[in-house]
Structures are given as structure tokens and as C-alpha cells.
Amino acid sequence: MLEPISIDIAGLNLQALLPMAILTIGALALICVDLAVKGLNRSFLTMITILFIVLDFGAVIGYKGDVRGFFDVLLIDGISLIAQVIILVASALFLPLSMSHRHFREFKMAEFYALFMFMIVGFQCMVTSDNLILIFIGLETSSLALYTLIALHNRAKAFEAAIKYFTMGALAAGFYGMSALIFYALTGSVEIHQIEQVLQERHFEPLVGVLAATIFMVAALGFKLSLVPSHTWTPDVYEGSSAPLAGYMSIVPKIAGFVVAMRLFEMLIASGVVWLEYVLYAAVVLTMTLANITALVQEDVKRMLAFSSISHAGSMMAAILIGTTQANTALFVYWIFFLFTNLGAFTMLWIVRHRENLWDERYQHPYTKFSGLVKIMPMTATIMGIFMFALAGMPPFSVFWGKLYLISAAINSDYIWLAVVIALNSAVAVYYYMKLVVYMFLHEPVTIDARLYATNASTSLKVIVGFAAIVTIFSIAFVEPLLEVITHYVASSGF
Amino acid sequence: MEHILSLLVFFPAMAGLLGFLVVKESIRAYGICVSAIEFVLSLILWMVFDTSNPGYQFVEFFPFVPSYGMNYYLGVDGISLFLIILSTFITMIALIGLSIEKEIKNLVITVLFLEMTMVGVFVILDVVWFYAFWELSLIPMLYIIGAWGSANRMYAAIKFFLYTFSGSVLMLVGILYMGYLYHDATGIWSFALPDWYALQVPFDAQLWLFGAFFVGFAIKVPMFPFHTWLPYAHGQAPTIGSVILAAVLLKMGSYGFVRFSLPLFPDASVYFLIPVAIICIIMVIYAAMIAYAQEDMKQVIAYSSISHMGIVILGTFAMNGEGITGSIFLMLSHGIVSGALFMLVGVIYDRRHTKMMKDFGGLASVMPNFATIYGIMLMASVGLPLTVGFVGEFLSLAGFYRINWVMTLLAGTGIILGAVYMLVLYKKSFFGEVVHVENKTLKDLNAKELSALIPLVALVAILGIYPKPILTTIDASVEKMLVLMDQKALQDKTKELLMKANTIGGNH
């Protein structure tokens, strides 16, 4: 006979659900409105979505409840708040890219915006829980929405990308399920903190089981975070998606994945299961190095940016490997700066998008397309150049400060060789970023028709680029406040 | 005078930004005016500089990221003062002598940004910001070489950039490790150089850190075997690029040795003294021999730069007042002389579009003024007494004589070899009959070129005859640094060597 369950409604801490609820309601409302009113303009849809994101942002910032909520499956600690802020800010900044000069079919459909909001809800679930099942639900909600969003771009390459992403994602989901299953079988719980407790009491015995669960989890998250060797989908998917979505994918799903990885792996690394540390160490070094070397030979800027984002993800995994408060702070600082710079770079690609592949049969953005851009559009070329140098980690631009703090975190925890590898990799990386700068500034222009480069430019795109450029250039002003806030939140949640 | 250093650093950058609004026709005049104002500012700095104070002056301090010890921290002492003046002076001279017409607006703006980074490197006392300026200086140079250079310019520009960038990322790891050591020892984060000076680094850590900084500086100097980017960069760069590269950018590396390697890691510096000295001697002799074999006038001067930088580094590692002061003076004189020589090659290149010595011959009869100035600069480069080149070379070698006289003798052959290749160059190009018809109608120096070159000639003579005001100012700061090194030295061997280097037979 089951015990009757009695629950106090106040004990549920329902306001913990509020952020996710806002966007869910928003998405449903948008679908209903679309049923009633036909032909809503994309500007209306975009702005309404942004407003819902703003409301959500308010709910996240203003949250003052318990750390636990809703049958203890929700965990609203410091890193979850930071991650949610990053996710929401990135979403609000990438969404206005729909208001480009030229019209695209997907941005006319209300479904796009509804799916976009569902996707954000999924990411929020991933970061605000330490329950393996809720994380899984979040992961799947967001991924399924994202596959569809990619396919909505309605090009042959977009379908290819969506299917490729879907297949790989399904495989990853399978691995995730296996891992969660083994953890449950071992410990009788699906909550990370309880798993940790039980495993620690038993000194991580039986080791075979723990290792199996861990390796499945590394594989599952490896797909999402595009770690070598499960990174192969990334460049194709980025190439097939529209530039705004590709940029979005390089930031938001990954930060959600990092938070999950942080919760799981840092517990396991701290356990002293040495083997996992080696596996992660190898994955980190390989991810950074191989992605960088592959990026060297790319002929298309978007593919180059895809490989470079894999390499950046590798550095982030280094932070998780190190696992100190400083390293975790470095992860968030790095990712925030990377967000703005990558936003700028992908928006630039979006601006120079042309309907036809004028420069190359195979690629949309070959390097040759940007030849001599400084002589055609000096301002565009200069800003793009700054984004490239910032991504390469040139001081004093944004990503440098994240990298600096990360290398410092590595050194402070005696990971000297890891620090050297990160540093050498940024020397390799500078070559392919510089390649674009060399094309823009040193080569002679192929065409002198500036209009070809601005067919998709619109005021809202220019505003976004300007905003990203200002943050990138004056990033030093944000370093101190960011460090203070993030260190506080990370430390308060025990990482 | 409170903020004169900030003004010095950011005035060219501000002017560069405003330069976007100046029309193309006036941009050259604009550039010259800005750089002249900047030069005057640096002279004012010298005037108000208190020569009796060997410490940092005009210090500006603003905590940028206090929780991590990164500050905006400026200061100038005898070691950096003249390098700042050299940077502003050479930029002004290079802009006066500028003969490029193509995309001149972008060029002038780039040079102004480059000036900011050069001055920044020499005045900054926060190591992370030092690194930032150090790296930033690469971007304008990349653009100058890559956009206005000759045929193979892109390869040269990329090679220059990648070499120096890879070297300096290792330096970054070193910087952060040093920050960690400081935090470990004191419990506070700080990247301020004066704070670091107070830290005694354990010997093993010193060896690694010296290595990390060494790679960054050695590539910039450039020291053998990292020198291969330099001939390419010079060979392809436009005149203004070569002038600034040779006169100022190379000095960042040797300045780094004086500013960082010696006072931060005294034991490691002494430990690595002989290997470094051997590299220097290889640089001096090997580069001189390659210079002799060159047929391109500009390559001769490029390799001679490597040869002279060898003596600069040798003087730095003499670990005594004469050697280090001499090496800093040699940096200045090499800046003036090599800048002038590259400019002279640019003059003849503009007229003939070739730099090959075989295409010339008998120029002395066609272009007497040009030949005279070229001759004076050659003599200064070789190190003829009473020219500016002699003072620095003599002091550097005299300083190192106390460490090891055999090595000094070997390095001294560099002067003889220098005389050989320079005089051969002069003979081939300027003496004899005018064999090529095109050379008969060459015009002598015009007013623009004269106004750029005459100040350099004057400096060569004045500083060659009376270098004392500069030497005493430098020496005060160098002596202070040597005392610091002696206090910090952990090992007896280091103290003994410093004692030996700074005394003659046990007496001062």
C-alpha cells in the first residue's frame, strides 16, 4: 500500500517555475494569435518574442526563492542563474537578426518564434536542474525545436543540416539515456547530488559501472558540445543553417551543455577516478588542436568559424577539467565575451549574404569573397577585422580577457602544460582568423560593387553589429564587474 | 604634467581616429603635424624629467581590474625615456620622408596607431598591458608590410606576424605564472612591474620563466635562430615600414631583456649568460657574413641590423653599468642609423625601382649630397669614433670584457666585418664609373628628403661627440636596477658574478 502523498503548495516553490512558464505561455499564446490573425508581420513577431524574453529575464533576475523547488527537481543556484542570463541575453540579441533587409520564409512564420521560445525553455530546464530526467527533457525539447528551426530555412543544405543534426542528436540522446540508466541502477537516484552522495559512500564502487556511465555521458555531452571526435556534424550544420542560427548554435546550446557537464564531471573528477581526468584531458587537447588545424585549411569563412567554435568549446572543457572556482568563473567570463564577438562575426556574415553564390560554386562565404573589402567598405572591413582579432585572443579585445583568466586558472592549479597548450593553440588560431583579415586588407578587390555586400543590411542588423563591436572593443571596462558578480555566484553554488 | 604619459600614449591614437575625417590630400601634412606635436611632447617630457631621480616618474595609476591585480600603470625612468623619444622622433622623420601616394590615408592612420603602441610598450608598467601593447603593435605593421610592400609582401607580413605572435603567447604563460607566484608569496594579485621587482623568485621557476620571456623577446630582437622573418619583412616592407621596424620595433625586444629578464630573474640571467652570449656572437659574425654576401642593398642593412642587435644583447648581459647603459645607447644609435639607412635606400628605390647594388655604381658623382649622407651613416653604422655608433658599441663591448675577454674579442670582429660589408656596399654603389645610362640623370635629394635626413645626420654627430647627458640619465636608472639585482640574487654564484662584472680587480 502506497503512502498517501501530501504536499504543501507553498513547499513546491512554484515561482521557481516562473521563468520557464512565461516563455511557454508566450509560445502558446503566439500560436493562438497566429490562428486568429493571419499574416502577422515578422517585426511584430520578433518584438513580441523579445518582450517575452525580457519578461523571462526579469523573472530570472528577480528570483528570490529557495535554491530547490518543485519536488526538488529544480535547482536554482548561482551557475544556473548566470547561465540563464547568458541564454536569454544571447537569444534576445540573435533574434532581431530576423529583420534583415531581404525576406526569408522562416521569419514570416509564427511557428518559428514559438519554436524559438520552446527551445529557450528547454535550455533553461537543462541549466536549472540536477535531475537527470529533467535535464534530458530540457535537452530533447531544445534539440527538437532547434532541428526544426534549422530545417525551416528551406534550402537543400538546410534540410541536410537538420537531418544530420537530428541523427547525431538522436544518437547522443541514446547515450544519455544509457548513462542515466546506469547511474540509476548503481545508486537508485537520478539526482546528481544524491548520486554523488551514494557513490562517495561506496568509494565509487563498482568502478566498472561508474566508468560505463561516465563514458556514455562523455559521449552524449561530447556530441552537444562538439568535442573531438564527435564534432564532425558541426561545420556542415553551421554551413546549412542561416548565419543567425549558426551563431546562436555556437553559443547557447553549448553554455547549457557546459553547465550540465560542470555539474556532472566536476563531481566525478573530484572523486579521484583518475581515468576520467585523462580522458577529459585528451579530449580537451584534441578538441582544441585538431579543430584548429582543420580550421586552417577551410576555404569558407562560415566553416572556419564553425571549427573555431569547436576549438573555443575545447578551451571551455579545459575549464571544467581544471574545476576550480577561478576556472568556472573563467568559463562564464570567456563565454560572455565570446557571445558578443561571435554575435558580431555571424551578423557580419548575415549582412554580406547574397542570394546567389557569386564567388564560389560550393561555398556561400569563401575567403575570396572578402578580397579587398577595405577598399570597398572600409568600415565593414575594419569591424570584421576587429572581431577576427578578438576571436583570436588579441589583447585588449574581448576574448583575450577570458583566455587570460582561463590560462591563469590553469596555471594556478598546476596545469602548466594545459596552459601552454591553450596558449600555443591561440597562436595557431591567429593564422586562420588573420587569413580573413589578410584577404580583406591586403588583397585586391575582385569586384568594386559595394551593393553586392550589403544586400541584406538593415538598420536592426547594423545596430546589433555596432553593439557587438562596442562591447568587443571596450571589453576591459566590463572585466572587473563581471569577475566580481560571476565569482560570487559561482562560489556561492559551490563550484 | 600629471598626465603627460597618458597624453603621449593616446594622443596619436586620438589623432588617428580623427584622421578618418581628414581628406586624402591633406592627410600627409596632418600626419606630420600630429607626429611633430607628439615629438615635442616627448621633448617636454625630457625637459621636466628629473635626471637626479633614478626611479619611475610621472607615475599614473588607475586600478582597472583590482580583484585580479591588473592596473593602468604608467611611469618613465632613464631606461625608457630615450626610447620613447626615439619612437616619436623616428615616426615623425618617417612621415616627413614618406613618398607613397597609394591609399595614403590608411597608411598615415595606421602609422599613428602604431605610434601609440610603440610609446605604450615603453611607458607601461603593468605587465598585462605591456603584453597588450606588444601584441597590438603587430597589427599595424602587418597592414603596412602587407598592403604597401613589394611583390612577395603577403608572405613576409604573415611570417612576421606569426613568428612574433607565437613567441609572445609563451611569454603570456610566463606572465601569468609570474602573477601566480606573486599571489602565492604575498596573497595579493598584482601585475605591476615594480611589485614584481620586489619578489624573489625560486631558482627553478626563474629558469622556466626566463625561458618563456626569452622566446618572446628573442623573436622580436630577432636573435639567432629566430631571425629568419626579419630579412623577409625588410625586403618586402615599404620604406616607412622598414624604418619603423628597424628603428623602434626591434628595440622592444632588447628593452624587454633590460626591463624584465635581468631584474626579475637575476639568477637565471647569470645562469644563461654564456649560452646567450654565444648566441649573440653567432648573430654578430654570422649575420655580418651573410650581409657581405647580399646583392640587395636593403638586405645588407637588414642583416647588419641583426649583427648590431647581437652587440646590444651582449652589452645587456654584461651585467654592469657600462654594458647595459651602452646597450641602451646602442639601441638609440642603431635606431637613428638604421632608420636613416633604410630611408636612404628608399630614396634611391623611389628613383630607380631597384635595390640591387649591381644596378648602381658611380652614384657619388651624380648625387653628391645623397652620397655624403649615405657615407656618414655608413660610418656611424660601422662605429667610427665620434659618430653615434661608436659610443654604444664601445661601452657594450667594454662592459662585456669584464665577463669574458675572448668572447668580447670575437664580438669585436663584428665591427671589422661591418666595415668590410659596408665599405664594399659603398664601393659598388657609389664609386667607379657610372655604368648604367639610367643613373646619369638621377636627381639629388630634394627638399623633403633633406628635411627628413638632415636631423638624423645632426644627431649622429652631436650624440657621437657629446653623449654624456643621455648616458648619465640612463646610467642612474641602470645602477639602481643593478643594485636591485644584487639584492635579489639567491645564489652565491650570481652575487660573485655581479661583483666581478661591476668592479675592476675587486675595486670599483
More confidently predicted of B500 and A125: A125
Mutate which: B173, B184, B188, B219, vs A, most A CBs within 10 A: B173
Q: Do B176 and A483 touch (CB under 8 A)?
A: no
Across the range A166-194, mean pLDDT stands at 89
A404 min Cα distance to partner chain B (Å) = 8
When pLDDT is cut at 50, 70 and 90, the band that residue A11 belongs to is low
Strand partners, B74: B60, B124
Give the pLDDT score at A19.
87
Q: State the cell numbers at B335.
A: 635606431
Q: Which residues of A touch B172 (CB under 8 A)?
A: 404, 407, 423
B181 min Cα distance to partner chain A (Å) = 9
Sign of the Cα torsion B498, B501, B507, B508 reads: negative
- How far apart are alpha carbons A332 and A237 in whole angstroms? 25
Q: Cell 579530449, residue?
A: A283
B104 Cβ under 8 Å from any chain A Cβ: no
Residue of B nearest to A423 (CA): B169
For A44-79, the pLDDT digits (tens) are 889 989 999 999 999 888 887 777 777 777 888 888
**pLDDT beyond 60 at A211:** yes
Q: State the cell numbers at B311.
A: 652587440
More confidently predicted of A485 and B435: A485
Candidate from A64-68, A350-354, A473-477 with smallest mean pLDDT: A64-68
Give the pLDDT score at A2.
66
For B155-191, the pLDDT digits (tens) are 888 888 888 888 888 899 999 999 999 988 888 888 9
Question: What residue ranges in B148-259 does DSSP mark as E strands?
Answer: none
> In terms of C-beta density within 10 A (0-12 exposed, 13-18 middle, 19 or more buried), how is residue B480 classed?
middle
Give the pLDDT score at B41.
92
List the single residue in A420, A427, A476 with the smallest CB-CB distance to B165: A427
Q: Which residues of A touch B179 (CB under 8 A)?
A: 408
Residue of A nearest to B70 (CA): A480
Q: Do A394 and B135 touch (CB under 8 A)?
A: yes
Please identify among residues 175-214 of chain B the ones whose CB lies closer than 8 Å to any CB of chain A.
176-177, 179-180, 183
Task: Spell out the domain ranges in chain B.
Answer: 273-465
Q: What percent of chain B has pLDDT over 70?
A: 99
Across the range A267-292, mean pLDDT stands at 82
Mean pLDDT of chain B: 88
Residue of B nearest to A388 (CA): B139
Comparing C-alpha atoms, which of B288, B294, B290, B340 is closest to residue B309?
B288
Please identify among residues 342-361 of chain B the ones whose CB lies closer than 8 Å to any CB of chain A.
none
Across the range B286-303, mean pLDDT stands at 89
For B419-466, the pLDDT digits (tens) are 888 888 888 888 888 888 877 888 888 888 888 889 999 988 898 888
For B462-487, the pLDDT digits (tens) are 988 888 888 888 888 888 888 888 88
Give the pLDDT score at B367.
86
For B251-264, the pLDDT digits (tens) are 999 999 999 998 99
A60 min Cα distance to partner chain B (Å) = 27
Give the pLDDT score at A16.
79
Q: Do B177 and A394 touch (CB under 8 A)?
A: no
Contact yes or no for A333/A327 (Cβ under 8 A):
no
Mutate which: B20, B62, B68, vs A, most A CBs within 10 A: B68
Q: Which residues of B touch A374 (CB under 8 A)?
A: 106
**pLDDT beyond 80 at A122:** yes
When pLDDT is cut at 50, 70 and 90, the band that residue B113 belongs to is very high
Mutate which: B168, B180, B188, B191, vs A, most A CBs within 10 A: B180
Mutate which: A430, A475, A484, A485, vs B, most B CBs within 10 A: A430
- How far apart are alpha carbons B263 and A35 in whole angstroms? 75
**pLDDT beyond 80 at A43:** yes
**pLDDT beyond 70 at A471:** yes
When pLDDT is cut at 50, 70 and 90, the band that residue A470 belongs to is very high
For A428-459, the pLDDT digits (tens) are 888 889 888 888 888 888 777 777 777 778 88
List the single residue in B139, B147, B173 with the smallest CB-CB distance to A442: B147
Across the range A464-475, mean pLDDT stands at 91
B198 min Cα distance to partner chain A (Å) = 21
- How far apart are alpha carbons A263 and A266 in whole angstroms? 6
List the single residue in B67, B153, B161 with the smallest CB-CB distance to A480: B67
Q: Cell 523571462, residue?
A: A56
B162 Cβ under 8 Å from any chain A Cβ: yes
Q: State the cell numbers at A217.
A: 555521458
Q: Do B169 and A424 touch (CB under 8 A)?
A: yes
Give the pLDDT score at B504.
61
A348 Cβ under 8 Å from any chain B Cβ: no
**pLDDT beyond 80 at A400:** yes
**pLDDT beyond 70 at B505:** no
Contact yes or no for A348/A380 (Cβ under 8 A):
yes
In total, chain A counts a number of residues equal to: 495
Q: What percent of chain B has pLDDT over 90?
A: 25
Residue of B nearest to A487 (CA): B67
Give the pLDDT score at B256.
92
Q: What percent of chain A has pLDDT over 70?
A: 97
For B243-291, the pLDDT digits (tens) are 999 889 999 999 999 999 989 998 998 899 899 999 999 989 998 999 8
Cβ count near B446 (within 10 Å)? 11
Task: Spell out the domain ranges in chain A.
Answer: 12-129, 265-495
Q: Do B142 and A434 touch (CB under 8 A)?
A: yes
Across the range B329-350, mean pLDDT stands at 90
**pLDDT beyond 90 at B321:** no
- The ipTM of this complex is 0.86
B195 min Cα distance to partner chain A (Å) = 18
Q: Is B41 helix (H, G, I), strand (E, B) or coil?
A: helix
For B127-164, the pLDDT digits (tens) are 999 999 999 999 899 889 888 888 888 888 888 888 88
Across the range A224-242, mean pLDDT stands at 85
When pLDDT is cut at 50, 70 and 90, the band that residue A1 belongs to is low
Residue of A nearest to B67 (CA): A480
Q: Which residues of A touch B66 (CB under 8 A)?
A: 480
When pLDDT is cut at 50, 70 and 90, the band that residue A273 belongs to is low
Mutate which: A441, A483, A487, vs B, most B CBs within 10 A: A441
A424 Cβ under 8 Å from any chain B Cβ: yes
Q: State the cell numbers at A156.
A: 537543400
Mean pLDDT of chain A: 86
Residue of B nearest to A428 (CA): B166
What is the 8-class DSSP label of residue A39?
A: S
Candidate from A402-406, B169-173, B255-259, B493-497 with smallest mean pLDDT: B493-497
Q: Which residues of B touch A389 (CB under 8 A)?
A: 139
- How far apart are alpha carbons B319 and B315 in whole angstroms? 8
B19 min Cα distance to partner chain A (Å) = 14
Cis peptide before A396 (omega within 30 of 0): yes
**pLDDT beyond 70 at B506:** no
For B366-378, the pLDDT digits (tens) are 888 888 998 899 8
